[in-house]
Amino acid sequence: MQFAYWSIDDVNRELAQRLAARMRVRLDLCDFRDSTRAVAAHIYDLDSFPADRRAALLAALRAARQRTPVAIHTYRLSAGAARALRRNGVIVVRRLQLTLFMALSVTVAGLRARRRKPRSSAAGVAANPRVPATVV
User: How many domains does the chain fold into?
Assistant: 1
CATH of the domain at 90: 3.40.50.2300
State the Cα–Cα distance between residues 116 and 108, nearest whole angstrom. 12
Interval 53-95: pLDDT, tens: 999 999 999 998 888 999 999 999 999 999 999 999 999 999 9
Q: Which domain holds residue 44?
A: 2-135
- Whether the model clears a pTM of 0.85, i.e. scores above it, the answer is no
Mean pLDDT of 4-30: 96
Residue 38, CA atoms < 13 Å, CB-side half-sphere: 0
State the chain's mean pLDDT as an integer: 86
The answer on pLDDT for 114 being more than 50 is yes
pLDDT of residue 48: 94
E strand intervals along 18-115: 26-30, 41-45, 70-73, 91-93
